[in-house]
Amino acid sequence: METTKTDKIIGVLGIFFCVGAVALLMTTETIDITIILALLVAGVICIVAGFSRCLGYRKDPGTDERTRKLSAFAATYSWFITFMLVNILFLLDYFGRLTITVSQTLGVIFFIMLVTMFGMSAYLKQKGYVE
């Protein structure tokens, strides 16, 4: 299967992320290193995902109707779990059970989003179908 326009856009976006991260690192002294690392990781992921067909790693059609359906379900479950987590964090903070900074909250949310998305995706792909 040939590289699609979307793949190229994702790949180029990845390059921008990586270049942006390096530029931030060189020009700004006060910026949190976590942000730069997050940008770099996102950039590398985009480059690999975008240009994998060019490199010949994905000979099969990347997605079909079944995998798209599985991904949609995984994203839905991930969104729901993250939403519940945000509510739990809010309640814990409201009742004074947990003191958590904005950065920590964002970190936890990003982590849970990624873990649940990949976890649900892997589970559903192993199951093979959703009804």
Partner 1 sequence: MKTRIKELRARYDLTQEELAKKVGVRRETIVFLEKGRYNPSLKLAYDVAKVLKSDIEEVFIFEED
Which residues sit at the interface with partner 1, rule CB under 8 A? 60-61, 64-67, 128-129, 131
Toward partner 1, which CB reaches closer, 31 or 68? 68
CB 23 within 8 A of CB 16: no
Please, which residue, 56 or 61, has the CB nearer to partner 1?
61
Instruction: Please identify, using beta-carbon distances, which residue of 29 and 64 lies nearer to partner 1.
Output: 64
Q: Which is nearer to partner 1, 4 or 87 (CB)?
A: 4
As a whole number of angstroms, the distance between CA 6 and CA 115 comes to 25
Q: 3-state DSSP: the chain helix, strand, coil percent, rounded to 5? A: 75, 0, 25
Total count of residues recorded for the chain: 131
How far, in Å, CA of 76 to CA of 98, rounded? 28
Least gap, CB of 89 to partner 1 (angstroms): 38
Least distance to partner 1 from the beta carbon of 87, Å?
Answer: 34
CB of 19 to partner 1, least distance (A): 34
Q: What is the largest CA-CA distance in the chain?
A: 55
State in angstroms the smallest separation of the CB of 123 from partner 1: 15
